Chain A
Amino acid sequence: MGLLTILFLTSIVKKSVEPTPLADLKEQFTKKKQPPSVDHTKFSQLKKKFSRPQDVTAACNECHTERHTEVMKSSHWNWEREEYIEGRGIRYVGKKNILNNFCIGISSNEQSCNKCHIGYGWNSPSFDFNNPNNVDCLACHDNSNTYTKQSGGAGMPDPSVNLTYVAQHVGKPTKANCGTCHFFGGGGNNVKHGDLEKTLFDATRDVDVHMASDGVNLECISCHKTEKHQMLGKVYSLSSMNRNRSTCEQCHTETPHKSDVLNEHTLKVACQTCHIPEYAKVNSTKMRWDWSTAGQLKNGEPFEIKDSLGDEVYMSIKGSFVWKRNVQPDYVWFNGTASHYLLGDTITPTAPIQMNTLHGSYADPEAKIIPVKIHRTKQIYDPVYKMIIQPKTFAIKKGEGGFWKDFDWVQASEKGMESVNLPFSGKYTFVETEMYWPINHMVSPKNNSLQCNSCHTRDHSRLANLRDFYMPGRDYNASVEFLGTGAIVLTLLGVIGHASLRIVSKRKNGKG
């Protein structure tokens, strides 16, 4: 008995001392950061007045001699990757040539869209991708928080930026660097992703348990690990292959729960599904975009209408929008591969055109259920050539054919389609499209994750739309249910009938 007590006690003590994997991670990521081993303010190369940003890059390259070659291999630079797309073969796809259902595409709009390119001056297809000095080191490495790119400047810095100061204050990328572009994609805060927005610059644990300022305060690159300027992770609006993904498992392992039943779920359910119960937790995200209403003018001038939260519900240049906050994700099977609507694909729309399709099913051993944002749009389409149109939207001044200045869809379509070497019939209409955005950020603290009955329930199951498998609590076989309930009811009726007859006959016999 005494021996048993000792064994029991030691097992308790052992448990309380042994660090859990989660505690290990917390320790690892809350370590005080070492000061950098170099002080860029002391380099003579950087102690001069830079008039052109390209000269800063040249100065960087004097010491970091081969770094630009790494950058120039990255998708941040090329805006395309070599991808194998199921049924399409090997394609070179990326922001460079894939259409979306937000601002649609960069072609003929480079001057504006390519503000977020990590280069200087990509304003036309003739941009020199082989000139090292065109690489913008500062966009990602500015640690002074004073570097910004100019709107409509094709990636050039804002004229107000003190290049010397920025060049002297460089370091590893922080949320501020990544977020400047990735939180504002689609023309405003949280427009595109829904789970990436400016709140993450300084979030609470409830919003994002990883990036929270009052938590472990991870940087983007803590998970999107980077070696030689090649980063883990990409978004399936643009990429197609199951490779180079940044995953929860890289830190948390595939079996992070104490409960075996929960660990078993990880074979078919992605971590994000339960641990991101909602997205757009603070600011709204765009759920629907209707380009067909664009172009209305007041006294010949474009205008905007905002709702009570300050979100634009109408813009003459872009059309009408539906925004949502605290959105419950949709759920789909996903095996890590996707296909896309590619420029020039001809489609006769019977259902909404899928701008990207995430592949997977229950039967697919690689597939897991993931949460997604589905963005739905009515966008411009050529009913004669049956193609989604790449319009020219941006223009510096009127008369250049940009829709945002001239409000003429025919001209905008002509110019845009010409820029991608595709025909335009002169006729246009608007078609419904859908685009799938996997939700990976805004992970909630564990006590806010989904409960069993969020899915395992007959009514309002979060997985109500995934019908290709049997899920306890949600599913049942209708005939078994009918026959089984029938058997119980008949037995009960039989028992009641039999008992009543017995009581009646007993009285009779008793009286007799």
Chain B
Amino acid sequence: MKKEFVYKRFERFWHWTQAALILFLALTGFEIHGAISFFGFEQAVTFHRTAAIMFLVLIAFAIFWHFTTDEWKQYLPTRKHLRAQFEYYISGIFRNAPHPTKKTVLSKLNPIQKLVYLALKILVIPVMVASGLLYMFYRYPQKQGIGSLNIDSLEKIAVVHTVGAFFLAAFVIAHIYLITTGRTVTSNLKAMITGFEELETEHTPAEVHHTAGTK
């Protein structure tokens, strides 16, 4: 076992800011949706819009970081060990079986994480951003006389945005639970807070393969 610097400073800043924003957007968003009441509709709208803009700025920085550091390659999906990872979660974990993949600095995501986070990055977040922007600005085009951009009704936009919100809410629940399935219950949480995590030094062939693939 060796203590490794897994999560860089920006990465942790990005992760926790994103987490806070998603929770806050969910709180204010579901209030706008009429499902809960907390701040009051007017405040909820103001806060939701402000948080949304902050989120956009964060996304811009995150994209820049992912490309300049080559970290985006962490999310390249693989089928290798995918089934093994599933089997671990549905049976191995109860038998104290070892994790099917080893976490390293250069390959910190297991195959399911790769798939899910990639889906978040290229599907869910873009859909939420696009529908969110349309939600915010959907009538301004009409105001400026660009008839072709007119949208008859908010309903379609709102439905897409709501579907995404429900998905994200479910994701957050699963995510918060699954971080307890690391080496110890709190090892993943500690790692995302401090950046450092105890990693096994022994390299399996599978891992070597991943390392080669990412760098």
Contacts and interface: CB of A to CB of B under 8 A. Distances in A.
B170 interface: yes
Contact of B173 (A480, A492, A501, A506): A492
B177 to A, nearest CB: 4
A453 B41 contact: yes
Contacts of A477: 155, 159, 162
Interface string A469-510: 111111111001101110110111011001101100110010
A363 interface: yes
B45 to A, nearest CB: 7
A23 interface: no
A195 B41 CA distance: 29
B45 A261 contact: yes
B139 A473 contact: no
A498 B32 contact: no
A470 B42 CA distance: 18
Contacts of B153: 362, 469-470
B173 A491 contact: yes
Interface string B61-91: 0000000000000000000000000000100
A506 B181 CA distance: 13
Contacts of B166: 480, 483-485, 487-488
Interface in A431-488: 451-453, 456-458, 469-477, 480-481, 483-485, 487-488
Given A473-B32, A473-B41, A509 B95 contact: yes
A481 B34 CA distance: 11
Given A264-B139, A488-B169, A495-B177, A473 B34 contact: yes
Contacts, number: 95
B142 interface: yes
A476 B152 contact: no
Contact of B34 (A476, A490, A506): A476
B163 A484 contact: yes
Interface in B1-26: none
Secondary structure of the B side of the interface? Answer: helix
Nearest to B40: A453
B122 interface: no
B33 interface: yes
B96 interface: yes
A487 B170 contact: yes
A476 B139 CA distance: 20
Nearest to A506: B96
A407 B60 CA distance: 81
Given A457-B34, A502-B93, A469 B170 contact: no
Given A264-B139, A480-B163, A363 B33 contact: no
Contacts of B170: 487-488, 490-491
A365 to B, nearest CB: 8
A94 B94 CA distance: 84
A312 B201 CA distance: 93
Interface size class of A (residues with CB under 8 A): 35 or more
Contacts of A476: 33-35, 162
Interface string B126-156: 0000000000000110110000000011110
Nearest to A508: B94
Contact of B154 (A453, A470, A490, A498): A470
A470 B152 CA distance: 10
A452 B42 contact: yes
A473 B29 CA distance: 10
Nearest to B140: A264
A484 B26 CA distance: 13
Given A452-B42, A456-B41, A480-B166, A495 B174 contact: yes
B118 interface: no
Interface in B156-180: 158-159, 162-163, 165-167, 169-170, 173-174, 177, 180
Contact of A491 (B32, B174, B180): B174
A505 B45 CA distance: 46
Contact of A505 (B32, B94, B140, B155): B94
Nearest to A495: B177
Contacts of A475: 34, 155, 158
Given A475-B155, A484-B162, A509-B95, A498 B41 contact: no
Contacts of B162: 476-477, 480-481, 484
Contacts of A362: 153
Contacts of B154: 469-472
Contacts of A483: 166
A495 B173 contact: yes
A267 interface: yes
A483 to B, nearest CB: 7
Interface of A: 261, 264, 267, 362-363, 451-453, 456-458, 469-477, 480-481, 483-485, 487-488, 490-492, 494-495, 498-499, 501-502, 505-506, 509
15 contacts: A267-B143, A456-B34, A457-B34, A469-B153, A470-B154, A473-B34, A475-B34, A476-B33, A476-B162, A484-B162, A485-B166, A487-B167, A488-B166, A495-B173, A502-B93
Given A480-B162, A484-B165, A487-B166, 7 more contacts: A264-B139, A267-B143, A452-B42, A457-B34, A473-B32, A495-B177, A509-B95
- By Cβ-Cβ distance, the 4 closest A-B pairs, closest first, are A484-B166, A470-B155, A505-B94, A452-B41
